[in-house]
Amino acid sequence: MCWVIVVVAAAVAADASPGMPGFDAALEQVVFDGHAADAAHQAESTVGVRGDFAIVDAGVAGAGPGLVVRAPSAWGETSLLFNAPFGDGLVRARFRVGDNLDHALVFRARLESAADASAEVDGGYGLTLEHGLARLVRWEHRIPRFLGSEQKLEPVPKAGDVVEVVVTAGGPWLQATVFAGATMTRLAHLAVVDRGFDAGQVGWRVGRNDRGSSLLFLSVANTSPPAVPSVRDLTWDGEVSGAGVDRLLTLHDVDVDRLPLDLQKKVTVREGGLAFVATDPIGVERVRRAGIEIVAHKTQMPWRHVDAILRTRLGKPPTKTSAGFRVDESYKDETMVADLLTAYAERFPKITRLVELGRSGEGRRILALVISKNANEAPIPGVRDTVVHRPAVLLDAAHHGGELLSPEFVLDAIQQLTERYGRDKDITHFVDGAAIWCVPMVNVDGNHRYIWETRDYDRKNARDVDGNGRVDGWDGVDLYRNYLSGWGGLGEIGSRSWPYHYRYRGPEPGSEPEIQAMISLAAREHFVASIDYHTNATKILVPYTDPSMENPDVNEGWVIAEEIAATLPIQVNKKMYEVARNLYPVDGTAQDYFRSTFGTVALLVEGPQNNPLPYDRTRNANVIPGRGIWQGLLRRVIEGPSIRGTVVDAAGSPIEANVIVSEQAPKRGEQWTARPRDGFFQRLVPAPGRYTLIVKSAGNKDVIKNVDVGAGPLRVDVVIR
Ligand SMILES: [Zn+2]
């Protein structure tokens, strides 16, 4: 028996009919069944009992007979372990609630002393249902430790209600689903990883508050040999599983005609002698019962099977228009993004240049389109990739490969900046006044995996963390936690050291080629301002997001973000963009790195929705009302109050001096230096007024200038002699 079959069994529990739908004796071994004639005997086949249980044959209508607590143990909790070992596989149980929901399904459990059948459960796992919450718990020496986050049961089962729970386990990966017994609608779903116990008994534990509750049914399916967990069916650490109910079946193409008609309509792709069917657990069961061979069965089906609009566009070149190109036809894989950037560079050669920043772990190109007046000229002999004496601004997206909406914000900016240049006064001003680096897709490998292979680990890149020679579901690094500053500084809160974790920070700071590419770009350009796009919180996040990093007393980034947010309309999700800092604990981020290393006003924009569908009705509704963010930031850099200029020596050579506005000086010794290649610097200030500019360079006296900044940029050139 393989793990996939266990998934089928788990899936059957999602059937909307009451009772025990789709139970398959070939898969599941009954441990206790209140209906069975030998129920009493079953109840006796326990390895540990604390308290007094009895079989009753008159349950609440429809619930059937069950095992009830006749007398609770002295200190209230009542438990029993059945003589049914469980390691990897599935456990299913039905309970009827007594006075108050307060009981637990126990699994992989053991007694304190095997010799003492009345001993308390010493160690093991439980799915506890109490106080309206579902929680996964690990007991060690009787002490409970809650794993992951709790889930509210909605609605909370009441006295007399029947509840069904299904637990699946494979190695350290545990997940549990709670259903309303009458309708089999899902009430909660939990998933964690824990390495405490790999096998033990199954059982039932009743809290002191739940008098009269009864166990109706308990079954176990052990995979044998113990399953290598299918990573496609599990997630971890308390975050609600994205495994969901969607299933992708791979069948032989010749079998499509044998499928029920409605399932034939769910065939998404036919290629290479195979056919893919996007369905749900019930569909899987129907295919199986039709005797059709299932070549592969997984959840987290890759995005191309979810998104019919994308399927019509994959592999096609950009669509030309009179002004440029369509950028709003579908979500995009990394090839479509590269094709668009190339097309724009060819069509607008005077104001754009295509730059390869580096290669991803799997060798894909990480591309930037730099947009600026005369971008393709070579202003310094021998140095091509530069635009001198102009502020550089970065718009990037998709550090998290599965955030498909995020590149759309940057591609929209590219379209606006190129196609409306020379026609729109503001746009022309932006392109003439700044070098705008557009990097719509940082995590090209993650995007590829999300669209083509699996939506597991949607955020991570393609590092083979377990070194098994291939990139499978648990691999990858969370690129947004791999930057140099504050890397891992918050311990196991802001990011994780465990390689399989969703938020794995990587083996060392800046370990990932994608991040190395971004770091060397930033080191060359010293961005004055940047926006890193993500989804989906409808927030503009301001550094420092790491609470251990102290901001300047006047955090001009915050002031500017507030200014911008105030200009924005209500968004598609009926929310306004809010400015926030430290939305959740996170370390090793791009924005803190850019801020701490270069003084960049580094904003992170969490767009309103995550990968909304259908694309043609949601994309522009998300992207267009957010244009004011990048436009507002560019306007602020080009037209707003600031101090800019160059630092050079007597011979005119640039000096990498530390340039500080003392009213908003960094607090932890950050060195915010002029740009190495041309000595350019620009410091945005919160408002017009008098400021003190301090220029520090090694071996030279500090240059201190009191300056009056008006409504726009004040030019201050410093020559160090
Ligand atoms: Zn993200």
What are the strands of the beta sheet with 703-709, ordered from one edge? 658-661, 689-696, 703-709
Contact indicator for 7, 69 with CB cutoff of 8 Å: no
**How far out from the chain centre does Cα 344 lie?**
30
- Is 21 part of a structural domain of the chain? yes
Distance, in Å, from the CA atom of 390 to the CA atom of 603, rounded to the nearest integer, reads 20
Ligand 1 center from residue 582 Cα (angstroms): 14
Ligand 1 center from residue 670 Cα (angstroms): 26
Ligand 1 center from residue 503 Cα (angstroms): 11
Range of the domain at 714: 642-720
Contact indicator for 591, 541 with CB cutoff of 8 Å: yes
- Domain end, chosen from 639, 654, 687, is at 639
Distance, in Å, from the CA atom of 110 to the CA atom of 231, rounded to the nearest integer, reads 27
Distance, in Å, from the CA atom of 183 to the CA atom of 246, rounded to the nearest integer, reads 19
Phi, psi (degrees; rounded to nearest 5) at 495: -165, 180
- Domain end, chosen from 180, 201, 233, is at 233
**Is 387 in the same domain as 531?**
yes
Ligand 1 center from residue 579 Cα (angstroms): 17
**Is 169 in the same domain as 263?**
no
**Is 573 in the same domain as 430?**
yes
Q: What is the pLDDT of residue 39?
A: 52
Ligand 1 center from residue 447 Cα (angstroms): 12
Which regions of 599-702 does DSSP assign to beta strands (E)?
Answer: 601-607, 642-649, 658-661, 680-684, 689-696
Q: What is the pLDDT of residue 35?
A: 65
Tokens 């309970």 map to which residue?
95
Distance, in Å, from the CA atom of 276 to the CA atom of 302, rounded to the nearest integer, reads 11
Which 3-state string (H, E, C) describes 523-566? Answer: HHHCCCEEEEEEECCCEEECCCCCCCCCCCCCCHHHHHHHHHHH
Ligand 1 center from residue 615 Cα (angstroms): 19
**Is 696 in the same domain as 592?**
no
Ligand 1 center from residue 640 Cα (angstroms): 29
**Is 273 in the same domain as 403?**
no
Contact indicator for 69, 78 with CB cutoff of 8 Å: yes
Ligand 1 center from residue 515 Cα (angstroms): 14
- Is 239 part of a structural domain of the chain? no
- 3-class DSSP state for residue 271? strand
Q: How many residues does the chain have?
A: 721
Ligand 1 center from residue 88 Cα (angstroms): 33
Ligand 1 center from residue 537 Cα (angstroms): 10
The DSSP secondary structure of 294-310, one letter per residue, reads EEEEESS--HHHH-HHH
Ligand 1 center from residue 703 Cα (angstroms): 41
Q: What is the pLDDT of residue 377?
A: 67
- Is 160 part of a structural domain of the chain? yes
**Is 364 in the same domain as 488?**
yes
Residue 2, C-beta contacts closer than 8 angstroms, at least 6 positions apart: 223, 227
Ligand 1 center from residue 575 Cα (angstroms): 19
Q: What is the pLDDT of residue 73?
A: 52
718-720 vs 529-535, strand pairing mode:
unpaired
Taking alpha carbons only, the member of 40, 13, 44 closest to residue 162 is: 13
**Is 366 in the same domain as 406?**
yes
Q: Along the chain (721 residues), what's the average pLDDT of each consecutive run of 10 residues? A: 29 29 56 64 57 51 56 58 82 86 88 53 84 88 77 91 86 84 83 81 81 82 51 31 62 96 95 92 72 80 94 97 98 98 96 95 97 74 56 97 97 98 97 96 96 85 85 84 94 82 91 98 96 95 92 95 97 96 90 97 97 96 98 98 96 94 95 94 97 96 97 95 87
Ligand 1 center from residue 459 Cα (angstroms): 7
**Is 155 in the same domain as 20?**
yes
- Is 328 part of a structural domain of the chain? no
Tokens 């504050």 map to which residue?
486
Ligand 1 center from residue 542 Cα (angstroms): 15
CA distances from 460 to 115, 409, 479, 519 (A): 48, 20, 7, 18
Ligand 1 center from residue 15 Cα (angstroms): 34
Tokens 């507030």 map to which residue?
562
**Is 77 in the same domain as 217?**
yes
Ligand 1 center from residue 49 Cα (angstroms): 49
Number of domains in the chain: 4
- Is 337 part of a structural domain of the chain? no
- Is 680 part of a structural domain of the chain? yes
- Domain end, chosen from 618, 639, 660, is at 639
Q: What is the pLDDT of residue 346?
A: 97
Number of H helices, E strands in the chain: 15, 34
Q: Domain with 448 in it: what CATH number?
A: 3.40.630.10
- 3-class DSSP state for residue 471? coil
Q: Residue 226 burial by CB count (10 A; 0-12/13-18/19+): exposed, middle or buried?
A: middle
Instruction: Indicate yes or no: pTM above 0.75.
Output: no
Q: Would you tell me how many other CB atoms lie within 10 Å of the CB of residue 696?
A: 16
Phi, psi (degrees; rounded to nearest 5) at 558: -65, -45
Q: Would you tell me how many other CB atoms lie within 10 Å of the CB of residue 632?
A: 20
Ligand 1 center from residue 535 Cα (angstroms): 6
Distance, in Å, from the CA atom of 629 to the CA atom of 319, rounded to the nearest integer, reads 27
Ligand 1 center from residue 605 Cα (angstroms): 9
Which regions of 308-383 does DSSP assign to beta strands (E)?
Answer: 352-359, 365-371
**Is 622 in the same domain as 664?**
no
Ligand 1 center from residue 585 Cα (angstroms): 14
Ligand 1 center from residue 472 Cα (angstroms): 20
Ligand 1 center from residue 377 Cα (angstroms): 35
Distance, in Å, from the CA atom of 664 to the CA atom of 658, rounded to the nearest integer, reads 14
Phi, psi (degrees; rounded to nearest 5) at 187: -100, -30
Taking alpha carbons only, the member of 260, 235, 263, 229 closest to residue 249 is: 263
Ligand 1 center from residue 398 Cα (angstroms): 7
Binning the chain into helix, strand and coil, the percentages to the nearest 5 are: 20, 30, 45
Ligand 1 center from residue 63 Cα (angstroms): 46
Indicate the DSSP class of residue 320. Answer: B
Handedness of CA 633, 645, 388, 666 (dihedral sign): negative
- Is 560 part of a structural domain of the chain? yes
Ligand 1 center from residue 470 Cα (angstroms): 24
- 3-class DSSP state for residue 337? helix
Distance, in Å, from the CA atom of 626 to the CA atom of 602, rounded to the nearest integer, reads 17
Ligand 1 center from residue 372 Cα (angstroms): 28
Ligand 1 center from residue 363 Cα (angstroms): 22
**Is 495 in the same domain as 632?**
yes
Q: Domain with 111 in it: what CATH number?
A: 2.60.120.560
Q: Domain with 709 in it: what CATH number?
A: 2.60.40.1120
Q: What is the pLDDT of residue 14?
A: 32
Ligand 1 center from residue 399 Cα (angstroms): 6
Ligand 1 center from residue 457 Cα (angstroms): 12
Ligand 1 center from residue 606 Cα (angstroms): 8
Ligand 1 center from residue 514 Cα (angstroms): 15
Distance, in Å, from the CA atom of 7 to the CA atom of 671, rounded to the nearest integer, reads 55
Q: What is the pLDDT of residue 38?
A: 53
Buried b (16+ CB within 10 A) or exposed e, 85-119: ebbbbbbbbbbbbbebbbbbbbbbbbbeeeeeeeb
Which 3-state string (H, E, C) describes 432-447? Answer: HHCEEEEECCCCHHHH
Taking alpha carbons only, the member of 478, 524, 471, 526 closest to residue 501 is: 478
- Is 327 part of a structural domain of the chain? no
**Is 173 in the same domain as 270?**
no
Q: What is the pLDDT of residue 699?
A: 92
